[in-house]
Structure 1
């Protein structure tokens, strides 16, 4: 990933600390998935009700808030004093007398990435948990609530995928070297005006690639780049909880990754063999739309 000062952070934390945070991220993400599955079994996909979040088409369910509450409790139990940034509950600075004060760790959590998929019963929805040290993501895990797959990574420690059966394999992004053969993932904002612009970019990109997928979870899209199920991915308007864990997984699997919290600049991830051409085409198309 770009602009992260990763060497300094990795040197300060050490591999044992990174591995500890990675193991905890996996634990938290998986346990959050357990909570979501229990609630789905009890209430069904929509829970006891849903409400709008940022717009009338952007729902948040009781499952989102319950999973995030669970994650905050788990983090507080294992790492008292750490900060937490969650999609539903916002920022908790972690000020207190916990034994880990001074580590500079903040957990960035998305309790349900792909809430609309969850509401509709589409099996592409995940719990995402990442650990930052002084603003640099050093560990993360993404757990698919429906399939039980768990992706994880540690800074300079590689990325893995653990299947629902417990088997684990190391990840490498795809060897695709021709943009015309690349399968590209993307996502769309809930704001109608932004969607219109995004649609024009997709229209320009589609003739230049194999095909485009819109699956509905940024965290899982980034993990799909990591394991070669997608060759490239881009999306505007992501928040830190959307990309924190998945971007690390993709980068540690060898993808070229650039994260962005700027509404005008997409987060991107691509296999090394197509990254340069992909980013150039995407830049040209985005410039044409904005001009």
Structure 2
């Protein structure tokens, strides 16, 4: 295992321990709103600190971007860690056991290492640039589906961008009519990990943040898939509008999405 991936795994497991202990004591979880339909708990903050402490101990000069604590500039700007300590906070708060720790490392602006860890199931998804993707040490690959017939797609509702609801529902309707089924599970990092593992055939969602998708994107790419924005371009990191699947299926998904794109969704 790459030494920096090893540190990411150690950090993810440390955060996972914090999360699992808290999940078993829901009465001690403190919840506050940080925006419209956007929640944070004391557990998010404790898990993020556990990750930062682990990374800083190994690589004190590296930079870190955390969902909860923001930017931690380091002397070495070539190395940037992007972390979401608890992706699926709403599930966690509601007692739904589906959430993950997401940690990615960019080296000179390119995704290099990735970990998505589901602490409830004990599933560790990892990827190193050019080395493939794994689930608990075993190689994973995206499903090479060519058409929507028989496919299962994952998605996320635009709960922070409800002004896009009409466009989203139109896309959902067209895709749902052609697929076997759709899934909305509440954790984008796990959705992308499941695409990488072939558990779902594709994924699309609006308005995601870099910490939601960075690790999952590398997992999908290293598992043989593609990640784009809603037009098939590469602006998803900025726009947060993300589509992931095998190359052929992604093209098909984009074809059904295209008629419903507003100008703001094309950016």
What is the TM-score when the length of structure 1 is the normalising length? 0.83
Alpha-carbon distance, 1:277 to partner: 1.3
In structure 2, the residue matched to 1:261 is 237
RMSD value, Cα: 2.1
Q: Secondary structure at the match of 2:135?
A: strand
Establish whether residue 285 from structure 1 lines up as the match of residue 260 from structure 2. Answer: yes
The answer to whether the 8 A contact 1:140-1:245 is kept is: yes
Q: In structure 2, what is the Cα distance between the partners aligned to 1:113 and 1:158?
A: 23
Greater percentage in strand: 2
Establish whether residue 68 from structure 1 lines up as the match of residue 48 from structure 2. Answer: yes
What is the TM-score when the length of structure 2 is the normalising length? 0.90
In structure 2, the residue matched to 1:51 is 32
Number of residue pairs aligned between Structure 1 and Structure 2: 259
Q: Secondary structure at the match of 1:122?
A: coil
Establish whether residue 237 from structure 1 lines up as the match of residue 207 from structure 2. Answer: yes
The answer to whether the 8 A contact 1:128-1:142 is kept is: yes
Structure 1's unaligned 5+ residue stretches are 1-15, 96-100, 163-167
Alpha-carbon distance, 1:288 to partner: 9.8
Q: In structure 2, what is the Cα distance between the partners aligned to 1:140 and 1:288?
A: 32
Q: Secondary structure at the match of 1:60?
A: strand
Q: In structure 2, what is the Cα distance between the partners aligned to 1:224 and 1:191?
A: 24
The answer to whether the 8 A contact 1:237-1:261 is kept is: no
In structure 1, the residue matched to 2:187 is 217
Q: In structure 2, what is the Cα distance between the partners aligned to 1:51 and 1:188?
A: 21
Structure 1 segment 180-199 matched on structure 2, within 5 A: 180-189=149-158, 190-199=160-169
Alpha-carbon distance, 1:115 to partner: 0.4
Q: In structure 2, what is the Cα distance between the partners aligned to 1:26 and 1:38?
A: 18
Alpha-carbon distance, 1:289 to partner: 10
In structure 2, the residue matched to 1:11 is none
Q: Secondary structure at the match of 1:228?
A: coil
Alpha-carbon distance, 1:206 to partner: 1.3
Q: In structure 2, what is the Cα distance between the partners aligned to 1:212 and 1:180?
A: 12
Alpha-carbon distance, 1:272 to partner: 3.1
Taking structure 1 as reference, are residues 205 and 287 closer, same or farther at Cα in structure 2, changes over 3 Å only?
farther
